[in-house]
Structure 1
Amino acid sequence: MKLRFVLFFLATCLLGAERAYDAKANPASDLKRAVEQARKEKKNILLEVGGEWCSWCHRLDQLFASNAGLLEEREKNFVFLKVNFSPENENKEFLAQYPKIEGYPHLIVLDSGGKMLRSQETDVLEEGKGYNLQRVSAFLREWAPKR
Structure 2
Amino acid sequence: MKKLVILLTTILISTAAFSQAKKESVHIYNPQANAKADIAAAVAKASKENKHVLLQVGGNWCSWCIAFHNLIDSTATLKKYINDNFETVLVNYSPENKNESVLAGLGYPQRFGFPVFVILDGKGKVLHIENSSYLETEEVGANGKKKVGHDVKKITSFLKGWTRAAVDPETYKAK
Is TM-score (shorter-chain normalized) higher than 0.5?
A: yes
Q: How many residues align?
A: 129
* Aligned counterparts of 2:57 and 2:104: Cα–Cα separation in 1: 13
Q: For 2:127, what is the secondary structure of its paired residue?
A: strand
Question: How large is the RMSD of aligned CA atoms in angstroms?
Answer: 1.2
Which residue does 2:161 correspond to in 1? 142
Which residue does 1:129 correspond to in 2? 148
1:108 maps onto 2:127 in alignment: no
* Aligned counterparts of 1:141 and 1:79: Cα–Cα separation in 2: 14
Q: What do the CA deviations read for 1:70-104 (whole angstroms, capped 9, x no partner)?
A: 00000000000000000000000111112332300
Which residue does 2:41 correspond to in 1? 33
What TM-score, normalized by structure 1, do the two folds share? Answer: 0.84
Unpaired segments of 5 or more residues in structure 2?
A: 1-26, 138-146, 166-170
Which residue does 1:14 correspond to in 2? none
The 5-angstrom pairing of residues 64-79 of structure 1 reads 64-79=72-87
Aligned-pair CA distance for 1:65: 1.4
| Structure with the larger RCO, 1 or 2 (CA within 8 Å, 6+ apart) | 1
Question: Which of structures 1 and 2 has the bigger CA Rg?
Answer: 2
Instruction: Give percent identity, aligned residues only.
Output: 37
Write the letter of the residue equivalent to 1:91: N
Unpaired segments of 5 or more residues in structure 1?
A: 1-18
Misfit runs of 4+, over 6 Å: none
1:87 maps onto 2:95 in alignment: yes
Q: Kindly indicate whether the alpha-carbon contact (under 8 Å) linking 2:29 and 2:92 is maintained by their aligned counterparts in 1.
A: yes
